Chain A
Amino acid sequence: MPGGVFCRIVEQTQAIQPFADPFANVQTLIERSQPKPRLPWFWYLLGTLLLLTMVAAYFGDSHPQAQIAIQVITSVLMFGLIGTMVLMSWHVAQQHRNEQQKLQAVEEMIQLRRWPQAAALLHELLGAPMRTQAGRIQALIFLGSVLARYHRFEDAIVVHNYLLEHVQLDPVTEHGLRLARTMAMLREDHLFDADREIAELRRTDRERESGWLALVEMYRDVKTGHPDEVIKIFQERLGRMRQQLGHRLGEAYALVARAYDLLGQEQPARDAYSRATLLCPPAELHRRYPETQPLAQKYPASPAPAGWLA
């Protein structure tokens, strides 16, 4: 297997690991991670270089007998200063690279569902001023995902609100963050806020036709007890969800299974639940959508081959 990456894959069904909560105060992390203004070292050194030149010229004129010594000292100091500038630039670049590598590692850990490691690394990154604002924004976006994974939805909303209110984001990132915030609102039963946010997202989503928005809408309708609406959205937007959701299409099947179940239509509910569990492990589905838990008692999950972790 290449580069030992496969060995880092962990079980999808892995229960949430007990870990010392590194996000005791999310607001503090947001504040602490603010990059410090950098000292203009380059200009200081350039100024010193010019000062040195002028001093050398002055002493050279006033002490002609020490001309050679002054020239040698000046040359050595100049090269020393230029060397310092190069070393400092290299050091700063190295620090930027380290931070970038840590962010990349967090992203990989999130993808591989290694949540405790991702949480610990994010705490380390955000616990002190970060090097760049772009890196900090990226880290805060990851923090929102990790908080949601640990069911800290109120804190996730705080992070999302901060990003949406204080940072100029590109439209795609903004859309993704707003969807994540809406999902967190639904999990915390902020149904009025979630509904308002969905209406706003639908207004801005006409061109994008987001499958993710369809999923959020389905979840809202499951939560508010509108199974007919869930089935309608599923049937109308299945194609889009199929293109965009990947294996998380299983979540849409789980929600529509719940909708059929609420309507007492057992056969389609059984069928949808089977498809949902074919794509996603049941434990993960029920963790994400606690409302689908009753399905596990009523319908069988899709059979998995021997050796499959799900």
Chain B
Amino acid sequence: MGKIRVLIAKPGLDGHDRGALVIAQALRDHGMEVIYTGLRQSPIQIAQAAIQEDVDVIGLSSLSGAHRTLFPKVIEALKERNAGDIPVVAGGVIPSEDIPYLIEKGINKIFTSGSSTDVLANYIKQLISPEAINVAPPKKIAHIGIAVQSIDQAISFYTDMLGLKLEGVEAVESEGVKVAFLKIGESRFELLEPLHESSTIQKFLNKKGEGIHHIALEVDNIEDRLTQYKQAGVKLINEEANTGAQSSQIAFIHPKVANGVLLELCQHDEGSES
């Protein structure tokens, strides 16, 4: 496909165009074609320009507080011209409480002060061609992590009652835990015992008691995946992979992203048993 075409527009009378200009330049650096309307455009002028220039996406910027009136008018003007399918993103000085209203009125996403231009560019790329973020689905559930006070005390149920095979016990200093792996089909249970008071597992136990702590997904190319997630604004606990048990590369995704479930990405080296 050709270059993504973007219209950056300043609706209303606001003259602050530092942000609009910086974003125009950043999107150009990301290989997009950017048309900037200049200041003081009415919603109708913006809709007309978008249609005339045949853009894929519109970016609106306002710092004057007129967004609640003007942004929805741009959407209306697009719909009136049968161009309601052009997505609109927006930014500027927008109080967070106004965001739901603007989304409801048809703005795809609001990027407020402090947003990174990379995140914006990747959002647009994904919006226009969703396959742009190209990640294979995880291969399997690598393990389910269960926080326990003591592996020694917990282990007998898993081995004796369930009859699972204990593969080994090791200390993972980077995470402050001792882990025991129990094989179950193509997957495993991972029992986690804190090594010290400041271990995250100890904090988990203090807060919630014993129980399921995380689910680990087996992936390829963990670093690429993390980079893409980062650019797409996916909240990560580890922006770079650390070394985990069995010399795997691991990184955690923030539980907010996955409906309260803590997900771990892990990648085992070629050849290592997994």
A and B associate in one complex: no
